[in-house]
Amino acid sequence: MRRLIWIPICFVALLIPVVVLAGGGQGGFDGVVNTLESRYNAHATRIPFLGLISLISRKATHEGVGGLHVAEFDNFTADVDGNELNQIVEEKLGSGWERIIRETSRRGGEQTLIFIHPEGQRMGLFVLDKDGNEMDVVQVSVDPNHLDDDIVHYSHHHDADHDVSD
């Protein structure tokens, strides 16, 4: 009989972390997207198997790009106030994220927000871009050092770079 009492105790002990983690899912990328969906009565399309794609991109870029999250809102017809949108993103991303770009057209039809977040040797990048009736939300983690190494392979050397004056 004493052993049976441990079953509910263990169940409650295991349930607490699940509840805490589920409640904590309302911040960050998912928190932003979920809030936009509920606030503006819109549906975001998320790319299937994005975790696998993110893993492949991390390997393909030699750890340069990873942690990829993408959500796309098609037919986003709601009027969006730039201040409100900025506030939603700042609140849901949480502390440590710094906005580096905020661009809003006069009528609010076009809006861009870009935030960065240091992650040790890596840099978190969050981009929200609304253009007309489409809104894209992207979050990615990049290693600037690895990206710089990969970009060098694709740079072009122009003759103009080595011009000799007459």
Spatial neighbors of 144 by CB under 8 A, at least 6 apart, are: 123
Reported as a single tens digit per residue, the pLDDT across 44-70 is 998 777 777 767 766 666 666 778 899
Q: Is 115 helix (H, G, I), strand (E, B) or coil?
A: strand
> Across all residues in the chain, what is the average pLDDT?
78
Binning pLDDT at 50, 70 and 90, where does residue 138 land? Answer: very high
Reported as a single tens digit per residue, the pLDDT across 64-116 is 677 889 999 998 988 888 999 999 999 999 999 999 999 988 776 799 999 99
Binning pLDDT at 50, 70 and 90, where does residue 148 land? Answer: low
Q: Where do the domains of the chain lie?
A: 27-154
Per 3-state DSSP, the chain is made up of helix, strand and coil in percentages (nearest 5) of: 45, 30, 30
Amino acid present at 147:
L
d(CA 118, CA 90): 15
Reported as a single tens digit per residue, the pLDDT across 5-59 is 656 554 545 544 444 444 445 789 999 999 999 999 999 998 777 777 767 766 6
d(CA 21, CA 4): 27
Question: Running DSSP on this structure, what letter comes out for residue 59?
Answer: H
Spatial neighbors of 121 by CB under 8 A, at least 6 apart, are: 143, 145
pLDDT of 141 higher than 90: no
Average pLDDT over residues 105-133: 90
